Chain A
Amino acid sequence: MNIVILGCGRVGTTFARLMYKDGHTVTVIDMQSEAFRRLGTRFKGNRIVGNGIDEDVLKRAGIADADVFVAATQGDNRNIMAAQIAQHTFGVPRVIARIYDPIRADRYRQLGIITLCTTTIASGLLRDFVTTNEWGLAKDYSAEYLAQNV
């Protein structure tokens, strides 16, 4: 698969290395070139410095031919906008955005973006482990969150 990842933080880096090791074509985008140091020397995928909500930067990263686009920067809104550019402007078949805010994660899921809300997943896993002493499955806990908070 052809995979474009926006955001070379811990999640972006770890995911990029996993996919690269599995033999996929991987391109990582980050605003700061120092962030690429995290990728290490064994990662031979592409590194693109630039703003992920700039169409030209996404084009340089080969988004037009991407099978999967993953937005995992620290900014929810940046991830949301980049994901929507990938989906609407470039027609990427699978678009995934990491979103910390459970409400935004839910609403943009309804708009067709696959959203990964690590806030609800991590807290749900913790709750299950603390109460049962066993790790549950990393299913999406957002429905439960929404039922309690909205």
Chain B
Amino acid sequence: MYSTKYVKAKDIDDAATIMASAEDGKFLAGGMTLIPTLKQRLANPDCLVDLSACGLSAIDDDDNAIRIGAMTRHVDVAESALVQKAIPAVADLAGHIGDRQVRNCGTIGGSLANNDPAACYPAALLALGGTVHTQNRSITAEDYFDGMFETTLEEGEIIREVSLPKPEKAAYVKFPNPASRYAMVGVFVAKFADGVRVAVTGAGEDGVFRASNLEAALDANFSADAIADGTVSADGLMSDIHASAEYRAHLIGEMTRRAVTACG
């Protein structure tokens, strides 16, 4: 790790102020991506601004949606009675991120701000049509993701909390990369009164995306049979030593069917 300056911000405005005066600072949430990056000397920030004391860890119920503070740890989302009741698929997703040690540190805000193409939370945000709230504005899921590891957050903009609308039914099924156990394909299916949304992570070259052809079929008939042979095109899907684009395309179809079945 390169030497750096560490500051623990008092609140979100304090964090923004500190960052504005740093030359090349980085916000520190759970550190589950940032710290390994620093240890491998792949980043050299002059300042780390720790958000853990900014009071961003509450989980609240808004009738139609739940609100999760940006610094809420995966373990707390997974074990929250509120989340388990309102959107159990989100609790389930959080409960299978990484391993116990990762879940005890990693946060929803960190995951969404980083937008790793194999992270799980982006699929939840996009499938539920959620909203990212920063200190400056609110950004809908449609407008938030901007490519692999890219979001529309501006310099110094900090996620305060995430709101996730409550679906009629939802399920998340992940096919893990056998080595890293990130999503090789992760499909979040959410059924709302006005339609079905299917968001796919782990597979797209530009990050999380909606499988519109599968959504259309499921709108007509919400069952695995409706998409018995259905899948997405392999075009635009990632290809690596673990999975070709073609295999990923197949897994997307298969995981979507399993998610629909798991919705009940």
A and B associate:
no
Q: Residues on A close to B: CB < 8 A?
A: none
Q: Residues on B close to A: CB < 8 A?
A: none
